[in-house]
Structure 1
Amino acid sequence: MVARGSEVRPRSQRRGAGRLVGVSLGAAVLLTLLTGCDVGKTFDGFGWPQNGITPEAHRMYDLWIASTIAALAVGVFVWGLIFWCVIRYRKRGDALPVQTRFNMPMEFLYTIAPILIVAVLFYYTAIVQTGVDKVDRPGEQPIVVEVVAFKWNWQFNYRDGKGKEAKTVASTLGTSDVIPVLVLPTGRPIRFEETSKDVIHSFWVPEMLFKRDVFPGNVRNVFEVSQLETEGAYVGRCAELCGTYHSMMNFELRVVSPDKYDQFMAAKTAGKSTQEALQSIGEDPFATKTHPFDTKRNDRNFNKTSAAGAGN
């Protein structure tokens, strides 16, 4: 005999309430444990790069960790409901379990809960994205670097102001034999103004967790970081397929103290090369995180042996 949807068994109701209390307590304990430790470090960032060197990188990292935890919490809850239903309502003999046509609280929950989750994630994503993309921040004037990309290297121009009308006061040009080193200080805002001489490239320093495409023509792609926090040498790359030597189109970001940066710029404006200016502040004159690529432009390119045999 099939029971009506309005019939409820008191014992089952008590069991359901007990399970709900248990799940709630388990969730509370899990959240307490998660907030009491560095979850990202424990689980290797859930696949997200760690050790960012800008406040913007930290904000994006925190958003990723929080989103991943939320997704895992929802997933565990849903998986738990699935397995609970499989076990609780499995067939026992010939008798059918209580048949229910609808459950208004449950339908309300699985309609409203996803909307709330998406709304919260959207809100925090919009907040973080707006902060990361913000330019012309109030306060200290940023150091302006014009990033010029070309096949297949980089030129970094230190500018005296913003926009195309500003003048270049010092410059670093990369070649096939020398990796360009971009020197910048900690604790000061940096503005990057990017342009390309030929095709689309992409300016990317993995530790900044940020990259911008570099377009040819009159387009100047601009982004800013509020500061660089950690001194050191960091490899930079082109992250846009741009041609034959794309994978070898590297540069190095060298982050130094503000005092060393001022000394470096003084040496550059006095006419010294980038390598001489780096040596003057006690830094390695050449890139330490990457090396020049082999152009393979040698005699073997022309296959002289085969050509000689063909002429005989």
Structure 2
Amino acid sequence: MSPTRRTTRRSLARRRVPRAAALALLLATATACANDVPEADWSRGLLPGHITEEGNVIQSLWNGAWIAALATGAVVIVLIVWASMFHRKRRAKAELPPQVRYNLPIEMLYTLIPLVMVSVFFFFTARDSERLAQVTGNAPVKVKVEAYQWSWRFTTTVNGKTLPPVSGVPVSEYTKGPQLVLPTKTKVEFDLQSDDVIHSFWVPEFLFKRDVIPGIPENNPGRKFEITTLDRTGVFAGRCAELCGVDHSRMLFSVKLVPQAEFDQYIATQQAGSAQ
């Protein structure tokens, strides 16, 4: 290769490095969320401790998938090591090992085993997905979630009585977003709405999230889901998990779980405030 070509290639490589670094920085900043989300606890691993009964379903599916994947990986590694150790080339002139094509039992074995594995994965995934998508319509607490650029509005209905909506603040006055108060050990129905772009309603401790897609009719079950809260109080962070625009990182909120007695007091306070 001529010196001129080498110089040209080195020059192009030097130009590509800053461009690649700039592109990586742009992607990282475009998809990043704010780090000041309240009460976000990631210390318990990939799946934080859940606060809903539905989280038990997701946790079981997750654990089962990992156990099956690790078992499959262990079998494959053992077979690779066995083949490497006991089928090494021992002669100067390599000979083909015994061929197994047209061996019907072996072909049936390595066809049926993956088919059974995929069928088992599909069965449990379909069963749990149907369970998570089930909406009975008889939840005592119903929350209408309105996502908009760049915050949230929560309107809670308790036993047919609607409380004043809880909204976010303008971006210029942003602090931590609105807070949704819910009782423990209670079934809650969420109705997700958006009038601008696609958002995503996500509370990590739910172990579940659902996209908020504009234009879905009210009677469409795809915009509703139910959870049953566990007997665990506290404040849990929520956020938009869909890149929805320039201030996506500010679309934060929190869910506060309180005992039923404290929730009844909260309802009374909210109704008294709206009556004034």
Q: TM-score range by the shorter chain?
A: 0.7 to 0.9
| Aligned residue identity for 2:48 | Q
CA offset digits 1:45-90 (Å, max 9, x no partner): 8x63231111212211221111111111112112211221122121
C-alpha distance 101-49 of structure 1, shift in aligned 2 (>3 A):
closer
Q: Secondary structure of the equivalent of 1:270?
A: helix
CA offset digits 1:176-235 (Å, max 9, x no partner): 345311000110100011112322221111111111222334534111112244211011
| Contact residue 185 and residue 228 of structure 1 kept, 8 A | no
| Contact residue 48 and residue 64 of structure 1 kept, 8 A | no
Q: Which has the larger radius of gyration?
A: 1
Partner of 1:23: none
Partner of 1:188: 186
CA distance in 1, matches of 2:113, 2:54: 30
| Percent of matched pairs sharing the same residue | 40
* Displacement of 1:91: 2.0
C-alpha distance 160-207 of structure 1, shift in aligned 2 (>3 A):
closer
C-alpha distance 239-61 of structure 1, shift in aligned 2 (>3 A):
same
CA distance in 1, matches of 2:65, 2:224: 28
| Aligned residue identity for 2:151 | N
CA distance in 1, matches of 2:92, 2:152: 76
| Contact residue 48 and residue 204 of structure 2 kept, 8 A | no
Partner of 1:172: 166
Q: Secondary structure of the equivalent of 2:83?
A: helix
| Aligned residue identity for 2:168 | G
Q: Which moved more, 1:197-206 or 1:181-190?
A: 197-206
CA offset digits 1:163-183 (Å, max 9, x no partner): xxx773332122134531100
CA offset digits 1:95-153 (Å, max 9, x no partner): 8587354544432221111011011111011111111111016xx63300111122111
CA distance in 1, matches of 2:110, 2:215: 51
CA distance in 2, matches of 1:257, 1:101: 66
CA distance in 2, matches of 1:160, 1:89: 70
Tell whether 2:124 aligns with 1:130: no
CA distance in 2, matches of 1:110, 1:101: 12
Q: Which moved more, 1:101-110 or 1:221-230?
A: 101-110
Tell whether 2:269 aligns with 1:267: yes
C-alpha distance 98-150 of structure 1, shift in aligned 2 (>3 A):
closer
C-alpha distance 238-116 of structure 1, shift in aligned 2 (>3 A):
same
CA distance in 2, matches of 1:156, 1:199: 18
C-alpha distance 101-228 of structure 1, shift in aligned 2 (>3 A):
closer
Q: Specify which of 58, 61, 64 is matched with residue 60 of structure 1.
A: 58
CA distance in 2, matches of 1:109, 1:71: 19
Q: Secondary structure of the equivalent of 1:203?
A: strand
Matches within 5 A, 1:102-117: 102=101, 103-117=103-117
Partner of 2:28: none
| Aligned residue identity for 1:257 | P
| Contact residue 179 and residue 254 of structure 2 kept, 8 A | yes
Tell whether 2:200 aligns with 1:223: no
Matches within 5 A, 1:135-174: 135-136=135-136, 141-159=139-157, 168-174=162-168
TM score, norm. by length of structure 1: 0.65
Higher relative CO (Cα under 8 Å, sequence separation at least 6) belongs to 2
CA distance in 1, matches of 2:100, 2:274: 83
* Displacement of 1:239: 1.3
CA distance in 2, matches of 1:216, 1:94: 69
Matches within 5 A, 1:3-22: none
CA RMSD of aligned residues (A): 2.5
CA distance in 2, matches of 1:94, 1:70: 41
Q: Secondary structure of the equivalent of 2:246?
A: coil
Q: Specify which of 235, 241, 245 is matched with residue 233 of structure 1.
A: 235
Q: Which moved more, 1:170-179 or 1:201-210?
A: 170-179
Q: How many residues of Structure 1 are paired with residues of Structure 2 in the alignment?
A: 223
